[in-house]
Amino acid sequence: MSQRPARPAVRTAVVAASLAAVVLGVTAPSQAEPVSRAPKASVAAPSVSSVGGAISRTEMIQRAQYWVDEGVPYSQSRYYRDPQGRTYRTDCSGMVSMAWHLPTSATTWTLPNYSTRLGSLDDLKPGDILNNIDRHVVIFASWTDSSHTTANIMEEARTGTNARKSTYSRNYINSNGFKPYRYNKVTDAPVPDPDKGMTNVTAVGDLTGDGKNDVIAVETATGDLYRYAGPDYVGSRARVKIGNGWNSISNIVGVGDLTGDGVADIIAVDAENGNLYRYSGPNYNGGSRVKIGTKWDSMTDIAAVGDLTGDGKPDIIAVEKSTGNLYRYSGPNYSGGSRVKIGNGWNAMSTIVGVGDLTGDGVADIVAVDAENGNLYRYSGPKYNGGSRVQIGTKWGSMINITGVGDITGDKVPDLLAVEQATGKLFRYSGPDFKGGSRVQIGTHW
């Protein structure tokens, strides 16, 4: 999903306005108008459950996917069919009611009557929900990583959007009062996930000497680490396996050359112990691993931002999970003594990415996705405060694994890579604004 000293009041108004559009305790009028849409060629979920009966996790996810495939638009008053033709209200709680195959369209307030609250977010399984009874509810699909920092969700979000897949950071879930619930009649059969794609897609600079920036990524199904050669990152020649056992690693960040050997290094957090490690390129193998910090599991959205302090060493920024505060850490070791608070309220953002200088002022900028509205914003360095915030895109909540790759198009402006979560397709966006018109598909199964 900023320091924003001027943003809280504005954000409060925006939140109030947008959340007013989320169904809370609205009961469906008997004359509610059905959604009028031409049917698409989507595959209906198998009819295994009965209305109000026991239902598997697989079927719940398939039923929710049915509305995503149909592109069902959000409405508090309209209804749309499920795969068997029964209609449900097309808002956030109506989508949950449809996915659970309830006998009626429940509300955020009444969904707890059909479910049991879980003890921890870590107990979530596919088909469970995240519910703030006064605001919004979404369907949990999976975690994107082994440390459970980001959740894949399915939702009817607000007026002007369609049923969709998105991601919520753990920070966003906690700071916005979402609680985990499980349908009382769910059967705990596992949900098949044959193609888990890639995670921790990270730009690392030119490792192959061809003048184009490369990326590394972890294969979710195996934990293997792969290097992909730019500029298109596709094909057998582009992909090279360079490691294994990376499924316990989170927050992989390409930071540039920290060791002075002329090759880009990375830093990464081990989710099992919270330690921060530096890995030397070009292969980032275990023998090059050096522990440089502890308790980094308390931070999220770690992003490389180049040298902000003028000492010739790359710096990073990171968000503290418990507070939402944004901190700058100085390289090469990013120790606690170098930590400087530069912002607050950043737990509202689902993704923060260092992209290089977009404004021409010689200082690295960042882009960030607001988890609430899916908008993409640019923040100017070195402080990345609210006054520098400029909206440059919409509907970025549907994208994951966003990474800045520098200039790969030859126009001397930084570009961006992002994966469309619903399809697994990899897209390149051209800077400085990364508009939809610049979007080019360059890969699949990401």
Instruction: Indicate the pLDDT class of residue 222, thresholds 50, 70 and 90.
Output: confident
Q: What global pTM score does this model have? A: 0.65
**Residue found by looking up tokens 């090279």 in the block:** 240
pLDDT at 195 over 80: no
pLDDT > 90 fraction of the chain, expressed in percent and rounded: 56
pLDDT digits (tens, 9 = 90+) for 10-43: 333 333 333 333 333 333 322 333 343 333 333 3
Phi (first) and psi of residue 238, to 5 degrees? -75, -35
Contacts of residue 335, Cβ cutoff 8 Å, sequence gap at least 6: 292, 293, 329
Instruction: Name the strands in the sheet holding 349-356, side by side, starting at the edge strand that comes first in the sequence.
Output: 349-356, 365-370, 376-379, 390-393
Q: Would you say 375 and 158 are in contact if contact means Cβ atoms under 8 Å apart?
A: no
Distance of CA 224 to the CA centre of its chain: 21
**Mean pLDDT calculated for residue range 151-180:** 90
- If one compares 195 and 19, the residue with the highest pLDDT of the two is 195
Q: What angle do CA 140, 318, 151 make, to 5 degrees?
A: 5
* Helix-strand-coil split of the chain, %, nearest 5: 15, 35, 50
Nearest to 351 by CA among 404, 315, 413, 388: 404
* pLDDT at res. 189: 67
pLDDT digits (tens, 9 = 90+) for 341-389: 999 999 888 889 999 999 999 999 999 998 878 899 999 989 998 889 9
